[in-house]
Amino acid sequence: MASPVIQFKRGAFANLPALQAGEPALTTDTYELYVGIDSTTSGNKFFGSHRYWTRETSSVGSRVNLVEGSSNGSSFISLKSPDSLSGITTYTFPATATDGYFLKTNSSGDLSWDAVVSTFDIAADSGTTDSVSTGSTITFTGGEGIDTAVTDDTITISAEIASDTNKGVASFDATDFQVISGAVGLHTERIQDIAGAMVTGNTETLITVTYQDADGTIDFVVDNDLANYSNTNSAFISASSTNTLTNKTFDANGTGNSLSNVEVADFAASAITDSSDTIATNDSDTQIPTSAAVIDYVGAQIGAIDLTVSTAGDSGTGSVSTSQTLTVSGTANEIETAASGQSITIGLPNDVTIGNNLTVSGNLYVNGSTTQVNTSSMLVEDRTIELGLVNGSAPSATTTWDLGVLFNYYQSSAKKAAVAWEQGDARFKFASVVSDGGGTDNDSPQLTFTTYAPIEISALWVNDCAGQSQVISCSGTTRKLENITIDGGTW
C-alpha cells in the first residue's frame, strides 16, 4: 500500500510556539525535532537533531557528528562507520592519554597507546638485509638494460630498448615472426605468402596460376576457351563461329540443348495453316495453325451460341436466354429499381418501412434532428458513447453546453437525475434532481442542478497534479488513506 504523508508543524527555531501535548514540530533552520508536553513553551521537549548524526545510505555508512554548542550543524567532527559491516564491532578506548603515542587495536577492538617506530628493514633478491630510519633516503639503481625513475611519490622501473650492443626490450613484427615461450621463429604462413607471390607474379601463356592462402597450395588452370588457340591446323566451332552443317541431327530435348530465334519463315509452307486455309477445312495432325486461323475459327463458333442462364431468388427459380429480356422488380416502400441503357439501379425509396427485423452489419448514420428508440431494453456492445459532436465531428469552436446522461424516475412527481459535465464549473457533477433547459448546439440554458446526489464506492483513485494514485482503500474492516499529505501547517 502506498502510505499517506504526514507533515509536522514546522518553522524557524526562534519562533517555535508552545506545542500541545503529543504535538510534533520540526525546526527548519536547526533541524531539531520537538514534542509538546503541556501546551507551554517550556514544555516543548527536544527529541533529536540532524546535527548530531548522518543516516546511512545504500553505499555510505552512518556517522555520529560532534558539534560545537552554538553551531547550526554546518561544521562538525564526524565519526563514520564502514560502508558495509558483517556484524557488530566494539572499540574500547583507553582511560587516559599518552603524549606522543598513537592508538592501536587488538583483535577484540581494545584500543591502547603505543610508541611510533622510527626504523624499518629492507631486503632485495641479492645482498644483505639493512635497517633504514624514517629520515633516510632509499636509492633504487638499475642494472644492465634497466632504467629507474622517481616522480613525486612514484618509483618507475622499466627496461631499456634493446640494440646490437645493449640488452633490453625488443619487438618483433607479428607478420613475419612468432614468439612462443620466449622462442622466436618464422611464420609458416609468411614463407608461403612469399613463395606464392613469386609464382603468381610470373608470366605464363594460356595457364593461370593462383596461390590459395587458405590451404597454402598453388593452383594451375589451363585456358579452355578455344578462341584463344591457333585454328591453323584444326577446325574449332566456337560461340562466334559461323558454320554450315549438313546431315546433322540436333537433339533439342537433350540436357543443356535448346533452339532459339526460330521464326515461321524458317518452316516449310506445307507445315503451317493460315487464315485463308481455315482449321475447319484443313483438319491435320501434321500442321501448325497461325493465330489468325485460330481467331477466325473461334469467332465463327461463338456467333452461333444461344446461352440460357438459370435464375434464383429468396423464393422461386427461373431461367433466361440471351434472346430474352431479364426484368428486375422491386417491392413497394422497400426497394426501387430503374433501368437506363446498360445500367440497372437498385435502391431504397425516400420513406422506408421495415416490416420485421433490420440488421446493419456496417455503420449506421442518422442525419435527422431527433432519434427516438421506443423499446423496452437496449443492448449496446460499443465500448464508448460520444456526446457533443457537431455534424459528426469534434467541435471546432468554443462550446458552452452541458453534457451528460439523464435518468427519468418518479418520486411524488416526475424527476430527472443526472451524471453530467457542467461546462460553467468545468467538472463532473452527480445530481439526484436536475432540470433540462433544452436547446441545441450552443443554446442555453442547459442543465440546472437542484439537488446533488451522494456517491457510494469501495475505493477511490485520484489523477491530479501528483499523478495517478489511490487515496482510499480498505483491508479487512479497516478503511485506509493512501498517497495523502496531512499538513500540520507552518508558524
What is the tens place of the pLDDT at every residue in 247-262?
777 777 778 787 777 7
pTM score, whole prediction: 0.38
Report the chain's C-alpha Rg in angstroms: 54
In this prediction, residue 413 carries a pLDDT of 95
DSSP characters over 44-73: PEEEEEGGGEE---SSS--EEEE--TT--S
In this prediction, residue 450 carries a pLDDT of 94
Cβ(30)–Cβ(73) under 8 Å? yes
- Name which of 289, 271, 267, 272 is nearest 280 in CA terms: 289
> Which residues sit opposite 156 in a β-bridge?
149
**Is residue 264 pLDDT above 80, yes or no?**
no
Task: Tell me the pairing of strands 9-11 and 24-27.
Answer: parallel
Q: What residue segments make up the domains of the chain, in order of their start?
A: 5-80, 186-220, 269-295, 398-456
Mean pLDDT of 172-188: 79
In this prediction, residue 468 carries a pLDDT of 93
Mean pLDDT of 455-464: 92
CB burial string 17-45: b at 16+ within 10 A, e below: eebeeebbbbbeebebebbbbeeeeeebe
CA distance 475 to 487: 25
In this prediction, residue 484 carries a pLDDT of 86
- Name which of 291, 380, 392 is nearest 405 in CA terms: 380
If you average pLDDT over each of 124-138, 184-198, 330-344, which comes out highest? 330-344
CA distance 178 to 186: 6
Mean pLDDT of 55-68: 77
CB burial string 397-432: b at 16+ within 10 A, e below: eeeebbebeeeeeeeeeebbbbebbbbeeeeebebb
Instruction: Tell me if residue 79 falls in helix, strand or coil.
Output: strand
Cβ(328)–Cβ(344) under 8 Å? yes
Mean pLDDT of the chain: 82
What band does 71 get if pLDDT is binned at 50, 70 and 90?
low
Please tell me the least confidently modeled range out of 72-86, 340-354, 463-477.
72-86
Instruction: Tell me if residue 299 falls in helix, strand or coil.
Output: helix
Residues 6+ apart with CB under 8 A from 284: 273
Residue 389 CB burial class (10 angstroms; 0-12, 13-18, ≥19): exposed
Residue 10 CB burial class (10 angstroms; 0-12, 13-18, ≥19): middle
In this prediction, residue 282 carries a pLDDT of 66
